[in-house]
Structure formats: structure tokens, C-alpha cells
Structure 1
Amino acid sequence: MKKILLLSLMMLGIIYGLFGAVILDREYKTVKLDNGLEVIMIKAGSEPIVTIEIAVRNGAYTQTPKNCGLSHLYEHMFFKGNKKWTSQEDYADRIRELGIVYNGMTSNESVRYFFTLPSRNFEQGMEFMAYAIIDPIFDSTELAKERNVVLNEFNRDFSEPSYIFYQMNEEAMFEKYFYRKNAIGDKSVIANATREQMFEIKNKYYIPNNSALVIVGDIDFAKTEKFVKKYFSRWEKGNAPSFVFEEHPYLEKTKNIFTEQNVSMTELMITFRGPDVGKKNEDTYAMDLLCEIMKLKSQNIYKQLVENGLVYSYYLGYYTEQDGATVTFDAALSAENTNKVKDIFFKELNNINTDGYLTEEILTQAKEKVEMNFYQDIESSVDFTLGVGFWWCISELDYFETYLDNLKKVNVSDIQRVLRNYLLDKPYIEGIMTDKESAKKYFANKEVK
């Protein structure tokens, strides 16, 4: 019976399917075409709209020094002409005709594109997405325009002191393979990008067996599956890319970064290596909660830093990644308070590692806050779609689906474990950004970079 069912599905261009499941109170179905394309269909919302997303396992972490920044440039070229709508005018006209709202985003470990449109135009939207992903032409004139657009973004970003400061800290942490963390890219590489390089990226990464098609909104599973087969079965399977990279070396000792910028307040940034998703997932949930605990207004660190006026704002953040995750404490403050704030931060970490300091009540508060933030982040159909695509890229859909359940399993000893394994007595990047006057007054012994 199972062999007959599998054969029937393969004749339809579908290898497997999961039906009737629920993800975060939304009914969903998954199928996989025989070209390797994973399709995730989710019913969500009562409005007659649909979001169609293509998620690709690409981004900064696949870059080399020779193509650093081209993942982002490719994202810009995605919204250009293709074999059916060849000119930019035709492409833009079709966008207007279908009532499409669109965008794309390139991060270190994912590239995602989405179209949101009225459900009455759903099939036409599926066709439009298929041509965009399968049949780009990378027109030379449009490529020249987008090179300039991306270079202008580059110049804009590097005119912002906060961005310069962030990049300095990232480069210090990931010095050997920084190009795998540099999504904005290398200016000279972008300026000299060619059509051939675009096709090289397409043929290596923009293949169905390295992509997911996520469809969320006012949909019928049977009709959606029919449209998927009709428009995406012709997408040719490629050689699966390798995602085995040399590991980013861990810091052997603490590094200090100091920069003078035209800023009105000082910024202190302390960055550690964190748990990589896919290696010790249980640590990722505990780290999320530790960061939330450190931000709770009921906690001593909040009272000491904010209520006592030592900082204007602060946060402890963990950005989940599989290729070099980081945990960052960031505080905006007056220069004279820098050492006090640093001491309070490390003292609080040590306090949490002391038995009896962190209570179950505080941990429960943090879990409730993280859960609330999680639902707020996926409140709209677009945000939900992008969340599914992001987690499919850097882990698997299962991580997203089971996140809250695994979060609830974390106990106090788990929090203390990640503290010891990733933060306490571990080397870190200490970054300070301040104005010229404060640099002379409070940081005379610091080497300016």
C-alpha cells in the first residue's frame, strides 16, 4: 500500500507530503517535488490575501573573498526582467496588475523573497514567482543600475557611526573568514560584478533542491498543490551545494576595539561567541532566556543601570546562526560610566551563576516574555511567512515549530550551564565608540582605530 501511494505521488511530481498538521495554531501541509523543492503551505488569516515566499540557503556564509557582496546584489537582480517579462517596464506593469507588494532580504545565512497579493490573483502570482526564480536574464543595463544602487547602500551604511562600529566588532570576532559575515560585501567586488557571476550564483544555489517555497494565507491546499506542480515542476534540479565550512576560530584572548566617531553618546559593546544552531540546540533556547532575564525590569541589573541613570538604554541579544552565533551586550551611556556599567554587567552574570539567585519565578517571567515576543514577531501573515523561511534556511522547519515547547523545558541549571559554557571567563570583543572630546578625557590610554 505504501509503495503504491509513493508511486502515485511521484507520478504527480511529489515525493512526500504531510497533511492535517498544525503549526502555531495554523493548519499546514508540506510536500516535496521530485526536483527537490520543499513546499510549505499554511492557512492563515481571514483576509483574502496570500504571501508567496522563496527561501534560499544562500547569503554571506557562502561567500568567498572573490564574490563577497554578490549574494546581496543577486537579491536586487531578482526583481528584474525574466524570460517572460523581459523588460523592467513589463515586470513593473505586472507587479501593478496583480497588486503585488514585494521585498527581498539577504542575511548571513538566508536569502528570502516574497510577493503578497490578493488571493484572487494567487495563480498569476505563482506563475510570476516561478519566472522570477527560474528564468532571470540579468540584463546588463539593469545590472549596471543595481550595482550603483548597492554601492549607494554601501556608502549610506558606512556613513552611519553605529554601522561602522558594528562592522569593526564583527571583523574582530571573525577576522579570518570575515567575508562569510559580511552581507553588505566588498565595494570593489560589487563595482565589478558581471552577468556571469550572477548566473554562477543562480546555478549553484538557486536550485529547487536548495530552496523552499512557502505559501501563507487564504489558500486551498489542493488548488495550491496544483499550482505548485504546474509552475515549479519545470525548475531543474542541480548539484546540492556543500555547506561544510572551516569553523570560525574562537578567540584566544579578549580583544579591544576603540573608535572615535561623530556621536552624541558613548556606546559599549561586549560580544561573545554563542551556541550555533544545529550543534547544541538545547543551548540556543537557554541563551534566548538568559538574554531576556537580563532585560527584565524586575532584575537588579535593570535597576542598577537604568533606574540609577548609568545608561540611556541597554540590551543583551543573541542572534541564532549555524556558522558563528554571537551574544552581545550593548549599552548607550555617558563615557564616564563605561567601567561601572561593564563591572555591573559581569557581576550580574556571576550572580546568576550563584545557586539561589535566579528563581523559578523570574525564569517563568522570561519565558512568558519570550513567548509574547515570538507571537508578536509572526503576527502578520508576511512576518509569519518570513519566519518560516528564515528557520527553514538556518535549521529546519521543526526548530520553528517546536521552539516554544523546547523553551518551556529550560530550567535554572540550563541557564547556568550556558553562562559557564559561553560567557563566564570566556574571551570577548570589547568595543567602545565615543566622541573626540570624551576620548581625550576618559579614554586617553585607548588606541584609536
Structure 2
Amino acid sequence: MRSSLFFTALFTMCLNVAFSQQPLKNIHSKKLANGLEILVIQDSTVPLVTLEIACKNGSCTETDEYNGLSHLYEHLFFKANKDYPNYDSFNARINELDIHANATTREEVVNYFFTLPAEKFKQGMKFMNSAIRFPRFAKADMKNENEIVNAEFTRHESSPIFALIEANSRHMWGENYSRKNVIGRHEVILSATPAKMDSIKNKYYWPDNSVLVIAGDINVEEAFQQAENIFGSWKSLGADPFQKWPVPEFKPLRANDYYIVESQHSQNPYLLFSWHGPDTRGDIPGTYAADVFSLIVNQNGSKMKKALINSGLAQTADVNYYTQKYTGPISFMVSPNPDKIEACYQEVLRQISLWDREDYLSDAQIERAKRLLSIKQIREREVTSDYSHLLSFWWASASVDYYLHYEENLNKITRKDLVDYIRKYIRDKPYCAGMMLNSESVSKVKPQEFFHSK
């Protein structure tokens, strides 16, 4: 029987072969004269092509009176435009081209994609061009979609932890809350007009604020040529919309901010600690360290998990960092044992106080975390249509180069980098701390007596 050391060495050797292919050879890029970035991912595994266009838009661009309208715009993309004057004609064309279509709206990007047979690539490109460049925002379409998007919002509100997430966002971002609130506000969504949709288009829907990803069974030169033929006439804005309409900087937290949320939607109590973390404009190394640290403490064998889960103090405990261009949030969410809420809270504080100790993380944990994150990157590239979404996200919130060199830079992270990250963003830094309980638990636990800054 061969030893586990042999299998570890074999696994590492195979993985290093995969790493040696970086930067990825099947990604090709070009920028058109109008500023439109083209990324082509060549993969002939199946005769399909995914066409994805993404714009740097989303909640980060929204003032209070526009909050939720980037998401509404996403829905209207699939409605009437210059070449398909109503929803029925648009939908008929989707069926003719055997398209699977969808889109997502995030804080810093909105992306639209079609997956269709490779033989219909050119028709799909023309169809995408019609939708992205020539929307009509018909009143009938808006009336329907206003209600649909508002209903989606209502579904979000039914989540057991919605009230806590909502309160956390308001405490974390203050007067700029709308810039992180992707789902929006009911009254804004329901009162949206074609003029507001046009305003969004005229600010952000330009080739020099967009990327086109073509992924799948496609010839690279043909992909570039069709992109030039079809999208080359799209006129550029000629300016950076984020300089004309800058995203305001989020004000740093000045002191610990405690709040209690009473909600009947969840029978389980929750604690949520949040900090302002690194972003890709000011601290790229910090974003890598944040990823490594979060993965380590979220492993079942970590000191944090042992102290909170194995001890019976909590049912769940997870640290998360969300990479963003405009202040990436760090969060630590815990679901305490209902009978041990105060003890769990005290242990959460103790764990946070230990995170920057030199002996809190082992060498093996650090190396394993970097390896697992690298494996995750490889797995995320296995489905080409999903890969296109990944590229458009990083294009908007960091850069394609950030993504292509992610594993290389990840492997440079040291123990010192992790300690520096904790000391720069978490240890002894102001945070928002929320506790969510139902009314019965509030009466029993009396959180106001202990859940506060000392």
C-alpha cells in the first residue's frame, strides 16, 4: 500500500502541471477603436458559444432616487428594441436561435449572456448588438417589469436573515447605503420611467465602459472579426463615466456600532460583525490575504471552528471577504446556540482578538488554503459559460490581469501578510456588530445588557 505522502506528491505534481499553463493560453484579448474590450475563450469541448456583454454599472452608480434601477434595466434588456419592437418578437428570436439567456446585476457590474449553438454565432452576435445598443424602454414593458422586479425584491425580504443584512448594510455604508444595495427600494422600482432608463443608458452603456466575452467553440480570428463588424460602429462616450459621475468614497467607521434587530422571520439567533476591508484600487495584496485568511478559519479544523462549533456555542460560524473596487466588506456571521448567546458572543470577541497572533495559523493551514484556492480557480474554469461570468466580474471589480495572475500572487502570501491584513483591517479597528433575535428571545436573553461596546 502506497503512503499518503506519495499521493500528496503525485497530486501536487499534477496540479503544478495545471499551474504551468498560466497565464491561460486559451484566452485572447483585443480592444476595438471605440474602446470595447473583447475577450475570446476558445473551448471546442461542445459545439456551443456563450456571448456575454458586461458594463461597469450596478448599485455603486446609484443615488437614492435611482436605487434598484440598474437591476430593472437588466430586466428590460430582454424586451423591445429597435430591431425587435415587442417582447413577442424578441422572445421568438431567442427560440429561433436556441438561446439560453440570462443576466445578473451586482454592485459594480451588470452582465448579459446568451448561450447558443456555435453554428448560430453570427446571428447571436447581431441579436446581442440590438439588445445592448438599441433598447426602447416601452411603457408596456416597464409596467410589467416594474412589478416583476418588485416581486423579486419581496422574495428577498422573506429570507430569514434579510432584516439583519439590511440593517448591517445601513450601518456599514451610512449615507451611501444605496451604492451597496443591489436590490433597490420599492418606491423607486415601482415609479421608474423610460426617462430614467435612458439616463442610465446615456451614462454607462458605451463600448468604452463595456467588455464582450466570446467563449466556446469558436475560431479566434473569426470572433474578433465579427466583433469588429457588428460592434465597431458603436460610438464611444469618449470619457470615463466614473470621472464624470464619481462613486463617493465610503466614510470610514469611526467607532464600534452595535445594533439589535428584532425579527419573527427567523427562529435562530444571529450575530454579524462587519469591517471595511481592502479594495482593488488601494490594496491588491490585502485582497489576496483576505481570501487566504477567510478560507483557513472557515475550515472545520480551524481554531475558530473548534472554539465556536465543536464547543457547542454556535451552530454556524463563517468569515467572508467580498473583493470589490469600492471598499470590499469583511464579515463574520455566527448563529449562536439559542441557550448560549452571551457566551458565544464573548467567544467571538476572544477569537477576533487572537486572529493576529503568530501562532493562530499553522504553516500547513496557510499552504493548504493557498492550494485549495488555486484548485477552486481551476474548477471554476471547467464550465466555459460560467467562466465568461467570472471574467466579466473581475474585469469590472479589479482587472482581467488581476484574475489571470491570481494564483501566482496568491502563492506569494506569507504569514506576515496575513497578520498585517488582520492588524490593518480587523484587530482593534471599528466594526458594526448586529444581533438578530425574535421578540421572545429578546425578552429572555436581554442582549442590551451585554451586547454593546465596552
Task: Give the TM-score of the pair, scaled to structure 2.
Answer: 0.90
Contact 1:258/1:447 (<8 A) preserved: no
Matched AA of 2:237: G
Q: Deviations over 1:168-189 (max 9, x none)?
A: 1011110121111111112222
Structure 2 residue aligned with 1:364: 367
2:394 maps to: 391
In the alignment, structure 1 residue 284 sits paired with structure 2 residue 287: yes
Alignment match, 1:131: 130
Q: Which residue of 2 aligns with 1:226?
A: 225
1:204 maps to amino acid = K
Measured against aligned partners, the alpha-carbon deviations of 1:213-234 in whole angstroms (never above 9, x if no partner) come to 0111111011111211121112
CA contact (8 A) 2:270 2:436 kept: yes
With normalisation by structure 1, the TM-score equals 0.91
Does the 8 Å CA contact 2:260/2:436 hold for their aligned counterparts? yes
Q: Which AA in structure 2 matches 1:33?
A: L
Kindly indicate whether the alpha-carbon contact (under 8 Å) linking 1:349 and 1:419 is maintained by their aligned counterparts in 2: no
Aligned to 1:205: 204
1:22-37 matches, cutoff 5 A: 25-37=24-36
Distance 1:89 1:245, change over 3 A: closer
Question: Aligned residue for 1:95?
Answer: 94
Distance in 2, Cα, partners of 1:372 & 1:45: 22
Name the % identity: 33
Give ranges in structure 1 of 5+ residues lacking alignment: 1-20
Number of aligned positions between the proteins: 428
SS of match in other structure, 1:235: coil
1:337/1:24 CA distance change after superposition, 3 Å: farther
| Partner of residue 401, structure 1 | 404
Q: CA deviation at 1:111?
A: 0.6
Q: 1:355 aligns with which of 345, 352, 358?
A: 358
Aligned residue identity for 2:186: K
SS of structure 2 residue aligned to 1:330: strand
Alignment of 1:38-437 (within 5 A): 38-44=37-43, 46-240=45-239, 241-243=241-243, 244-262=246-264, 263-437=266-440
Q: Which amino acid aligns with 1:34?
A: A
Bigger shift: residues 374-383 or 270-279: 374-383
1:239 Cα offset (Å): 4.0
Conservation of the 8 A alpha-carbon contact between 1:22 and 1:28: no
Q: In structure 1, what is the Cα distance between the partners aligned to 2:447 and 2:343?
A: 17
C-alpha displacement at 1:336, in angstroms? 3.3
Relative to structure 1, the CA distance from residue 426 to residue 45 in structure 2 (aligned partners, 3 Å threshold; closer, same or farther) is farther
The aligned amino acid for 2:100 is V
Q: Provide the rounded CA distance (Å) in 1 between the counterparts of 2:134 and 2:28.
A: 27
Give the partner amino acid of 2:258.
N
The alpha-carbon deviation at position 210 of structure 1 amounts to 0.4
**Contact 2:163/2:263 (CA < 8 Å) preserved in 1?**
no
- Root mean square deviation, CA, Å: 1.9
One-letter code aligned to 1:209: D
Provide the C-alpha distance between the structure 1 equivalents of 2:278 and 2:62, rounded to a whole number of angstroms.
Answer: 22
Distance 1:130 1:415, change over 3 A: same
Amino acid paired to 2:249: E
Q: Distance in 2 between matches of 1:214 and 1:444?
A: 50
CA distance in 1, matches of 2:270, 2:23: 38
